[in-house]
Amino acid sequence: MIVLDNDNTPPMHLRGVGLIKISDLNAGGTTQVLFQKGIGIQLIHTILKLNKAKIITKKQGIGIGLISDYTVYMHYFNTNPSEIIVIIYLDNKESIMKFSSYYEVSKKLNEAVCSCEEFSNIQEICDEDFIIPRLDSVLALFIISTAGHLYYSKVNEKKCRLGDFEIQISGFISALLIFTKEMIGQGPGVELKHINFGNQQIYLTVKTNVIFAYFVEEERILKLDRKYMQLVSEEFLDMYKDHINPKTFNGDLSKYQSFGNIIDKYIMM
């Protein structure tokens, strides 16, 4: 249900937001994801695949639909004749969407893109106008190559003291995978394998020669935890697809440190 609401409202609570540019309209449309938070790139492409023909034909308008457990709301603009800007909002099925609130933010985002504003300005608009939940159950995250190289790690020092043992833990996980390789998802989808590790629980997934290990407090995690673990994996692989070959890794970790900004979008650590 959509509610017309003309009042100034505080930041809206959402499950995700995506900002996409569609160019080459006469050739079927080329999509570029400009910004996304709380919504995976794969899901964005799925939504666009279902709606792209309509968007290119109409060029400007709104779209509302359901996908999985979420309501999808889209707003698209054709300010520039050669391209279309699409804003996708993801929320729970039962949520009531406030039409005017979404429209005002969509206008701001469209104007920011069309005026070629810096990415930081676009991100600031999203941070000011949307609140997307973050996880607080993760004690530590380790991102490791299948050869045992530690790409990235982050530890919640307030909750645990794993930081002094990062190298040992990465070696332990790599050794563990020798015995559990067939049990952990290696296909196109991201699957999690739960392992009891003393007082902590470990959730492992392997994707494109990269191991993602999450130390968590609870044995049973929520659906949102699983979603965010998948998003973290997806965004890391997208950002560093040219730098994750274990055979060519040269030991330089500096390129991976900026991934902390992505972690902060989804996990409080």
183 and 251 in a common domain: yes
Q: Give residue 120's pLDDT.
A: 78
Reported as a single tens digit per residue, the pLDDT across 120-152 is: 788 888 888 888 889 888 888 989 888 778 899
254 and 143 in a common domain: yes
Query: Token pair for residue 28?
Result: 């079927």
Among candidate residues 78, 110, 131, the one where a domain is terminated: 131
Residue 42: give its domain's CATH number.
3.30.450
State the residue range of the domain holding 151: 138-266
Q: Give residue 54's pLDDT.
A: 93
State how far the Cα of 201 lies from the Cα of 244, in Å rounded to an integer: 26
145 and 111 in a common domain: no
Nearest of 95, 86, 89 to residue 130 by alpha carbon? 89
153 and 127 in a common domain: no
Among candidate residues 89, 116, 131, the one where a domain is terminated: 131
- Global confidence as pTM: 0.78
Measured torsion, CA atoms of residues 48, 237, 140, 38, in degrees rounded to the nearest 10: -10
Reported as a single tens digit per residue, the pLDDT across 144-199 is: 888 778 899 898 877 776 665 666 676 677 666 665 566 555 554 446 777 776 66
